[in-house]
Structure 1
Amino acid sequence: MGKSQKKRMMRRHNPMRVPDSHLPQGLASAESASTKKEAILPIIQKMESPDGSERKWACVAVSNLIQNDPSTRRLLQGKNVVGALITRLSDSEEEVWIEAAGALRNLCIDGGYDICAEMYNKNILAPLRTFVPKVSTMLAQFLESPRNAPESAKRVVYEFADNVITILWCLSETSNKALNAINQINLIPFLMSFLSSRDKLPMSTVVSAAQSLYVLTDDNQAAIDEVRSNPAYSSCLLDIVRCNDRDPKGKSKDLSQDRFEALKVLCCGIVGNVSPLPPPSAASTLDGVNDLLLPVLLPVISSVSLDEIAQQVQELVTRQASEPPAIEKLSLKNTPKSDHKAQTELELEQLENELRTIQLALEVLTGACATLPDPASGITTDENEDVQDEDVEMEVDNDMTEGISLDEKLHPHKGTKRSSTALLPQLVRPLLTLVRPTFLSVSPPSRLSIHPPATSALSAIHVSAFECLNNLFLSLSTSPNPELGADVNTGRDVWSEIWAALSKVGLDIAPGQECKRDIWEVAVGVLWGIGNIWKGKLAPIDQQVQILMNVCDSSVDARVQAKCIGTLECLAQYPDSIEANQVISSYLLSILPTATTPATKGTEPLLQSVSALIDIYSDETLPYDINFRNGSFLDRLVESVDGVKKVVKAIDRRKERDLKLRGEEVRDNLVAFIEYRRAL
């Protein structure tokens, strides 16, 4: 079976919090959609005012105006608000650059990669570099002499540190260029200082530091080596992971349980990123999955109802609509505070944090379930290529150290079979629950959700849960377990639940509903994995077969097409479904080249189709083989040989070595299969 090669991609844990894909392109459309366009010009003007209070006001106003308002954010972008705010980071007045950092942080979080890329291109790292040592010095002073610093000063520094760290985290995910530049800032000791002093600092700032460290150690060898080189870092991370205290500081107002859980989840991810930890680390004697991950992550993904959270969000939004706005007018007399939030807003934020923690837990579990692909993989990975976040998809996501699972990395001599098989009963049930969309998981067609951050988080959870299932079933299918394969009822139940979830997702994708496409592209990989484990035991259903063919035809991603074809191949091998076998095989044959026409799809789906037909009809004693004989399939395969040979010959061995090997294998198998069937 040719499976998609795993590639590193920028993670999904900084999705666009308030998407704007439902808006037509161009500033004119944003202006027509914004209800605050009259406030834009005064903000931009006051950003350059000689009066420091006006400059501060302008920075704060940006934070307030963009909240859950992508059209206004886009308008501000069009007026170069990013460049203006970066300039204010070097302002002569402290309050101004503090508020500018807060506004830039909010733009990063709400606006996603495009805004982050703009910030990097406009050299935001220049002022940020100067802030890191300043914050480090002040932090050290506060920790050494806590009574000598007023609480108000500490609060300002901690909030400012949180903003700087969050910006650096978001920039780290923007591109390899940005990541390499951030590597030069020597951030690891800075970030670890927050984790090691976590009992003396606000948990929100500590979590931001952990989030940044999690991103920096993801397939980034410079950061990995630095963390591994310091035993104190490993000890700190493991202490957090193992901590069972509900409230270590006893200050539940600031240290909410959801943030502490987020910290533990992030530290699990960091440990996974940097494993194996060098001796004498305590982790060297642990089973990475069962001893470290599951005790922390399973409760996070198992003890939650997404439907209930969605309902709570709806109730809070309804309540919020009846409350007077916190800021009636943007005026210099009543300068709004960037951190002012009403109770309803705080409750919404807490629910969003809970959802993001679930998403993070799924990401870490996805890495734990990752396995190496087949040697004859259909996709090549160029280790030297510069991977951009918007250009890369992969079948097995959140790949850790070239696909090696956390359990393997902690115990290099162990295979994946034991860990993945042990994970199955514990993980599948909560994952199946998390792939089911709620009424709030997808925005209405061509407009915003009632609460975009919650919708963004929910859709990300569904994608991440499918990614975890994808890796889990791919792991199991590459190291077959006869006992599991014999449990046909489990296979059929899981298959049915996946399709039930997908039926709620639907295939109609309007602007602003791109998450549906993301779900389908991962879900077909899950279906392929399940199909391989229970090959020939899942009865094909006409509607499902048709949907798989439609997704294959509508997708422009060769890997998605190959996964659809692989799933159809598994369904075609159900012995008693002669009619479905004929429909699927005819579809696969339609992809093949003829003497006069090229293949209807690209190289990877073509190779998968040829391989599928060989597998389906490798046993002439099966009932559905009548389709091969009566349909003159042999003649059709013979007609495709020259075209297949041309396609394989055209693959560049230097650029796509794995694909070339795969193609040569399929080509040779096709010729041998034709000879075999002729001999019959």
Structure 2
Amino acid sequence: MGKSQKKRQMRRHNPVRVPDSHLPKGLEAASSSSSRKEAILPILQKMESVDPAERKWACVAVSNLIQNDPSTRRLLQGKNAVGALINRLSDSEEEVVVEAAGSLRNLCIDGGFDICAEMYNKNILTPLKSFIPKISTTLSEYLENPKTAPENAQKLVYEFADNVITILWCLSETSNKAMNAINQISLVPFLMSFLASRERLPISTVTSAAQCLYVLTDENPPAIEEVRSNAPYSACVLSIVQSREGLPQANGKNKEVADNRGLALQVLCCGILRNVSPIPPPSVAATVDVDRDIVMPTLEPVLSLISLVEASQHAQEHIAKEDAIPALEKLSLKHTPKSDHKTPSGLELERLEHKLRTVQLALEILTGVCATLPEPDFDVQDADGEATDADGDEAHEDEDMDDEPEVDMAPDNEAAVKQQSGSNATIFQTLVAPLLTLIQPTPLSFPPLNGPSPHPPTTSALSAIHVSALECLNNIFLSFRGAKIDAPRADPDSGRRIWDSVWQALGAVGTDIDNPGQERRRATWEIGVGVLWGVAEAHVKVLMQLCDAATDEGVKVKCIGTLECLAQHPGSVDANRVCTYFSQRVPEPLLQAVSALIDIYSDETLPYDTNFRQGRFLDALVGSVEGVRKAVRGIDRKKERELRVRGEEVRDNLVAFIEYRRSLGV
């Protein structure tokens, strides 16, 4: 099981916020499941009206109708609402353009990749590109002379900028083709202007700019290089984090501060700094250790920002009060609501979701921190004594190094190992406990097996947190193994708590993972099994010690049987080294040990087979044959008939296995 690496398609801030995978495919199915299908045609007709008030009303109506309603969203998509809204971005009336951008933004956030891909294919970038210089010019004018425009006009521009930036951020995560096209726009200076002027701009717009920059600098060399090569850019991002304003304290105080976007902005800036590291001089950011001095101190407290159980309870209370979508009759032309209209309970649900997304974002960044810790590095030999790496490839040294004098590096290496050990031990102490809390499902974490969630955005955020927390745990335990740190073994109680917590979480998730709409349950299991494997490896030595200390033969057999299961994991050459222990146990307890060795090394093509050759297991098995025969003959046929039959089977299998391995010539 490898580390959970950063992948753009897995890193959506709102990963399909309102999923529709539980719905049957096809336009007819969407029509039959939508309660608002009769409203679709009038809306689309009004979007082409000669009356600008009707066009504005239609854009607003789309935004209201799709709210938490995947079937209506799919139906609108099938009727080309996306294309109609893109056309309205070129409308002659400014307010129509603003409302169209707002509806397209909501479609991006709620609908995910499919809708974003459709927007890209329908050439949404052409009008968006034309907006960038206009927004920049207006922004500069307002910042230089705030009194040049009334407050409501400024608010309109800032909201419009927020919508445009959010659409660009979502498109950036759609495909490499879309990312390459957006790279041609040169967005970095535009986005940085919002961060640089953050004290005079709405925090929501600044946060959207940071989110877009975070995505653009994710393994995207053009944007990374642009930030790196402009020292003021990285210095600005660093200053936002170092301000420490709005961060929750380690003791749990100031949690309510996450109601605004200040904390999310700082978390995003941590991610941006990681994306562009290492940062070269002369930037002041080049003088800090980003992970140690910036990321870890900022993000660790965020993991305890909110109780998921309490969040689920509060969400259920507000869901019970919420009439999320206004009736279409209320959307009169005389009283046109804004596209961001929310009821009080709707606003509370939105604030709650924002807190959850901030935690998820912190987990996403921390997963990257743990993924960059040293990978396992094995120095093993093949059957011919040649040095090989973990994949079995021969290690070749530069011939020019043959005459180099030998240098004793032991003291430096020892210090480095000790420093790395301390670092990993700190991660174990500070991260594992809150992560184990965050993997525990709540009643709203996954949709019911027979239908959609009562509030898809909350469910999406909660399940994303569970998956991200498990990914972080997975990387932590793999990093322990690579750095030869056995934290769970040093504290057996903690190891047991980890094991129990993960199993408790997976048990609550359930095994109905293949039904439509249950993709997050499946993802939770896939990552959770990897975590269990990492924890299990930490128990290998404990099992061997137990086997040595036990006097009961049944206990010994169970220990070796458990070790056999662990040793057969094809992705872990290191854990397979436990088989050296098996060869030393022959002939006590005989049958289980011999049977385990035969089963484990029956396929010579597996990566860990190099341990069989290096450990000279074949010689050990040849030397054990006579002992096995004597032990089998010593089993009473009358008193222990089943054991005698099994012993004879193991004996015959052993002889056949030895002949097979000899015939391979390896």
TM-score interval, normalised by the smaller of the two chains = 0.7 to 0.9
Q: Which amino acid in structure 2 is aligned with residue 620 of structure 1?
A: S
CA contact (8 A) 1:120 1:171 kept: yes
Structure 2 residue aligned with 1:305: 307
Structure 2 residue aligned with 1:522: 527
CA distance in 1, matches of 2:115, 2:186: 24
CA distance in 1, matches of 2:143, 2:587: 74
Structure 1 residue matching 2:467: 3-state secondary structure: helix
Structure 2 residue aligned with 1:117: 117
Structure 1 residue aligned with 2:90: 90
CA contact (8 A) 1:488 1:537 kept: no
CA, structure 1 residues 144+65, in 2 after alignment: closer, same or farther (shift >3 Å)? same
What is the CA distance between 1:25 and its match in structure 2? 1.4
Q: In the alignment, does 2:210 pair up with 1:210?
A: yes
CA distance in 1, matches of 2:487, 2:258: 44
CA, structure 1 residues 455+635, in 2 after alignment: closer, same or farther (shift >3 Å)? closer
What is the CA distance between 1:52 and its match in structure 2? 2.3
What is the CA distance between 1:675 and its match in structure 2? 4.5
Structure 1 residue aligned with 2:542: 537
Output one character per residue of 1:205-239: Cα deviation in whole Å (capped at 9) or x when no partner.
11100000111111111111111111111221111
TM-score (norm 1): 0.77
Structure 2 residue aligned with 1:487: 491
What is the CA distance between 1:339 and its match in structure 2? 2.0
What is the CA distance between 1:315 and its match in structure 2? 0.7
What is the CA distance between 1:143 and its match in structure 2? 0.5
CA distance in 1, matches of 2:525, 2:543: 20
Structure 1 residue aligned with 2:584: 621
CA, structure 1 residues 30+667, in 2 after alignment: closer, same or farther (shift >3 Å)? farther
CA contact (8 A) 1:43 1:58 kept: yes
CA contact (8 A) 2:8 2:173 kept: no
Q: Which amino acid in structure 1 is aligned with residue 517 of structure 2?
A: G
Structure 2 residue matching 1:17: 3-state secondary structure: coil
Mean CA deviation greater in 41-50 or 177-186 = 41-50
CA contact (8 A) 1:3 1:377 kept: no
CA distance in 1, matches of 2:554, 2:540: 10
CA, structure 1 residues 377+107, in 2 after alignment: closer, same or farther (shift >3 Å)? farther
Mean CA deviation greater in 627-636 or 446-455 = 627-636
Structure 2 residue aligned with 1:347: 348
CA distance in 1, matches of 2:258, 2:587: 60
CA, structure 1 residues 266+426, in 2 after alignment: closer, same or farther (shift >3 Å)? same
Structure 2 residue aligned with 1:143: 143
Structure 1 residue matching 2:17: 3-state secondary structure: coil
Structure 1 residue aligned with 2:195: 195
Structure 2 residue aligned with 1:276: 278
Q: Which amino acid in structure 2 is aligned with residue 22 of structure 1?
A: H
Structure 2 residue aligned with 1:373: 375
RMSD: 3.4
Structure 2 residue matching 1:351: 3-state secondary structure: helix
Q: In the alignment, does 2:657 pair up with 1:678?
A: no
Higher relative contact order (CA 8 A, sep 6+): 1
What is the CA distance between 1:584 and its match in structure 2? 7.6
What is the CA distance between 1:632 and its match in structure 2? 4.7
What is the CA distance between 1:164 and its match in structure 2? 0.6
What is the CA distance between 1:493 and its match in structure 2? 1.7
Q: 1:579 aligns with which of 536, 558, 580?
A: 558
Output one character per residue of 1:588-617: Cα deviation in whole Å (capped at 9) or x when no partner.
88xxxxxxxxxxxxxxx7x44998666435
What is the CA distance between 1:55 and its match in structure 2? 1.9
Structure 2 residue aligned with 1:228: 228
What is the CA distance between 1:629 and its match in structure 2? 5.9
Q: Which amino acid in structure 2 is aligned with residue 459 of structure 1?
A: S
Structure 2 residue aligned with 1:62: 62
CA distance in 2, matches of 1:177, 1:119: 13
CA contact (8 A) 1:219 1:273 kept: yes
CA, structure 1 residues 624+482, in 2 after alignment: closer, same or farther (shift >3 Å)? farther
What is the CA distance between 1:340 and its match in structure 2? 1.8
CA contact (8 A) 1:61 1:330 kept: yes
Q: Which amino acid in structure 2 is aligned with residue 273 of structure 1?
A: N
Structure 2 residue aligned with 1:186: 186
Q: In the alignment, does 2:338 pair up with 1:337?
A: yes
CA contact (8 A) 1:5 1:377 kept: no
CA, structure 1 residues 350+237, in 2 after alignment: closer, same or farther (shift >3 Å)? same
Q: In the alignment, does 2:405 pair up with 1:442?
A: no
Structure 1 residue aligned with 2:17: 17
CA, structure 1 residues 212+627, in 2 after alignment: closer, same or farther (shift >3 Å)? farther
Structure 1 residue matching 2:322: 3-state secondary structure: helix
Structure 1 residue aligned with 2:101: 101
Structure 2 residue matching 1:23: 3-state secondary structure: coil
Q: 1:425 aligns with which of 425, 429, 433?
A: 429
Structure ID, larger Rg: 2
Output one character per residue of 1:359-384: Cα deviation in whole Å (capped at 9) or x when no partner.
0111111111122434656799xxxx
CA distance in 2, matches of 1:5, 1:351: 27
CA, structure 1 residues 633+235, in 2 after alignment: closer, same or farther (shift >3 Å)? closer
Q: 1:475 aligns with which of 476, 479, 488?
A: 479
CA, structure 1 residues 530+612, in 2 after alignment: closer, same or farther (shift >3 Å)? closer
Output one character per residue of 1:498-557: Cα deviation in whole Å (capped at 9) or x when no partner.
111111111112322211111111112212222223323369xxxxxxxxxxxxxxxxxx
Q: Identify unmatched segments of 5+ residues in structure 1.
A: 381-411, 540-573, 590-604, 649-661
Mean CA deviation greater in 416-425 or 153-162 = 416-425
Structure 2 residue aligned with 1:570: none
Structure 2 residue aligned with 1:293: 295
What is the CA distance between 1:415 and its match in structure 2? 7.7
What is the CA distance between 1:257 and its match in structure 2? 4.5
CA contact (8 A) 2:66 2:72 kept: yes
CA contact (8 A) 1:48 1:55 kept: yes
TM-score (norm 2): 0.79
CA, structure 1 residues 378+217, in 2 after alignment: closer, same or farther (shift >3 Å)? farther
CA, structure 1 residues 106+588, in 2 after alignment: closer, same or farther (shift >3 Å)? same
Output one character per residue of 1:142-197: Cα deviation in whole Å (capped at 9) or x when no partner.
11111111111111111111011001101111111111111111000000111111
CA, structure 1 residues 610+525, in 2 after alignment: closer, same or farther (shift >3 Å)? closer
Q: In the alignment, does 2:506 pair up with 1:506?
A: no
Structure 2 residue aligned with 1:171: 171
CA contact (8 A) 1:116 1:171 kept: yes
CA distance in 1, matches of 2:329, 2:50: 26
What is the CA distance between 1:448 and its match in structure 2? 1.5
